[in-house]
Structure 1
Amino acid sequence: MNQDTREPRVTVVMITHNRRVEALSTLDRMTTLPDAAPIIVVDNASEDGTAETIALRFPEVKLMAMTENLGAAGRNHAMDLVNTPYAAFCDDDTRWQPGALTRAADLLDAHPGLGSVTGRCLVEPDLREDPITPELRDSPVPGPHWLPGPALLGIMAGLTTVRVAAFREVGGFSTRMWLGGEEELFALDLAARGWWMCWAEDIVIHHAPSHARDPRRRRQLGIRNTLWTLWLRRPVRSALRRSGVVLGSAPKDTATLAAVAEALRGALWVIRERRVVPPAVEHGLRLLEESQRNSAARRYVG
């Protein structure tokens, strides 16, 4: 059957906020792929004309203009509208390369136990591998023999295609996390439900990092969300030990102090929502600790 006449298997879900130039550039690329897929864009209450310009220039894109910035949870609203079996997350500064969406769908078709597949990120302009790549390629997490790539216990949303049924089963991204490391909790919930995640080298995504960001606030959110994920899902001893590692590696400044204060203010929520992962998942997380400790991608800077 000709590819063009097939029912789509993947929907692209993109979130954006006040990055009109980046969002338009990404949509230029994503709408002209040879394996282009339906696209849903969630505009998180941009004030720079992003939503209006997308509506004018890309009438074929389904646009959801939010009245407040929902962060990563904006994806949850888009997922309510997805009617394909798979959804590929796309940030406003990431661009899936030709064939990547098709390859991701093929892997998910072939492996019903696979909840998500994460691709290989090349950073523009010189297309070097993202620093997280060695962690993914050399993941020590044990996986079943049928898994088509290294088993993961974490994802990077902008590089990942998910099985929609699995996403809905775990309830999507936490609204409390907002943005910054929100994928960690989502991935652990997938694993706890028995869904496998893997990395695939031949699914390629380019990342053109936007300069329109607040690195200090992103660092605060990253630390806070990492602590929350530890406290929500790890056994007490592991949570305390890893919290010490995270804080020991973070700069000793007011941004880190503010992140810890935010995390502590969420303590009652953590207690209510705490569900420790199964022993097999905890075993995999322990195996990951050394590579995470040595990772150039896990430095709380900014």
Structure 2
Amino acid sequence: MRKVTVVVASHNRREQLLDTLPRHRAPVILVDNASTDGTAAAVAARHPRVRVLRLPVNAGAAARNAGAALAHTPYVAFADDDSYWEGDALDQAAHALDKHPSTALLAARVLVGPTARLDPVSAAMAAAPLGTTPTQPGPSVLGFLACAAVVRRDVFLAVGGFQPKLHVYGEEALLAMDLAVRGWGLAYLPTLVVRHLPLPTGRDPAARRRMMIRNDLLTTWLRRPATRAVREAARALSTSDGRGGLHDALAELPWVLRHRRRVPPHLEAALRRLETGQAAVG
């Protein structure tokens, strides 16, 4: 019996999606984020075993929440339209989560492009700045790449999944903190492999940078100390993208104040250790 369902969220990347979908070795739920390029119809025709949910609007990363809610397996693996889980990674993930009941999320090793270059995020996780505890299957982490994560479905849904307000880019950090606050472990397991095949020309890079800065600011304001929140806002003023991101984040300040919940001191200390390590390696 399969224990993992792959949830793929996609928006207007039909051809790439048609290439990666058959490479998954588990049942797939596709959440079509209101694509206008015929994605849903093409997938239904070419891959009839894929369950397709077409959303009326582009929900961004929160589309994964809808896919997870439809799944009937205890574990859900996320993928993007330009990524897929390699080999027996999903069986390995299910075994690891069965064996480690306090772990809510596993982050896989990501190999990028046709040359299978190691993603820098994976390299940083492998350095294990937070160490490894006996109750986890690999180094503890407080972040992950959404296209390379397996979660306990019930836990993921219980904490609210990906925050809709963040839409896309950098949405993982808030979820990682919220899982850790509730006492769940997050671990990097390098034997799990995800292939990521981004297009040479992706979406608008300036818009992406602005959105990432916005989301980083919102996440900091929601969960980190006030001094940190002020410092990050001041830092954003140094670039045009940063000023744009700050402008967009300030528009959400009333929402932030209603939902602000600082992480406990031990978790804040762990986040600072991670940041210190990241600064040391550039």
- TM-score per shorter chain, which class? over 0.9
The offset of 1:216, in angstroms, is 1.4
Identify the residue that residue 268 of structure 2 maps to in structure 1.
282
Identify the residue that residue 222 of structure 2 maps to in structure 1.
232
Q: Write the deviation string for residues 137-170 of structure 1: whole angstroms up to 9, x where unpaired.
A: 1131255322111100111110000011210121
Identify the residue that residue 239 of structure 2 maps to in structure 1.
252
Identify the residue that residue 103 of structure 1 maps to in structure 2.
92
Structure 1 letter corresponding to 2:219: T
Comparing 37-46 with 132-141, greater Cα deviation is found at: 132-141
Matches within 5 A, 1:18-167: 18-30=12-24, 36-167=25-156
Report the CA distance shift for 1:152/1:160 in structure 2 as closer, same or farther (over 3 A): same
Q: Write the deviation string for residues 17-53 of structure 1: whole angstroms up to 9, x where unpaired.
A: 00011111111212xxxxx211100010111111110
User: Contact conserved, 1:230 with 1:243, CA < 8 A, in 2?
Assistant: no
Identity of aligned residues (%): 43
Give the TM-score, by structure 2 length: 0.95
Identify the residue that residue 300 of structure 1 maps to in structure 2.
none
User: Contact conserved, 2:163 with 2:171, CA < 8 A, in 1?
Assistant: yes
After superposition, the CA RMSD in angstroms is 1.5
Comparing 222-231 with 233-242, greater Cα deviation is found at: 233-242
4+ aligned runs moved over 6 Å, structure 1: none
User: Distance in 2 between the 1:139 and 1:169 partners?
Assistant: 28
Residue 265 (structure 1) aligned with residue 254 (structure 2): no
User: Distance in 2 between the 1:169 and 1:132 partners?
Assistant: 27
The gaps in structure 2 that reach 5 residues or longer are: none
The offset of 1:194, in angstroms, is 0.6
User: Contact conserved, 2:102 with 2:135, CA < 8 A, in 1?
Assistant: no
- Secondary structure in 2 aligned to 1:95? strand
User: Contact conserved, 1:155 with 1:184, CA < 8 A, in 2?
Assistant: yes
Give the TM-score, by structure 1 length: 0.89
The offset of 1:244, in angstroms, is 4.7
The offset of 1:295, in angstroms, is 5.6
User: Distance in 2 between the 1:266 and 1:29 partners?
Assistant: 39
User: Distance in 1 between the 2:132 and 2:259 partners?
Assistant: 28
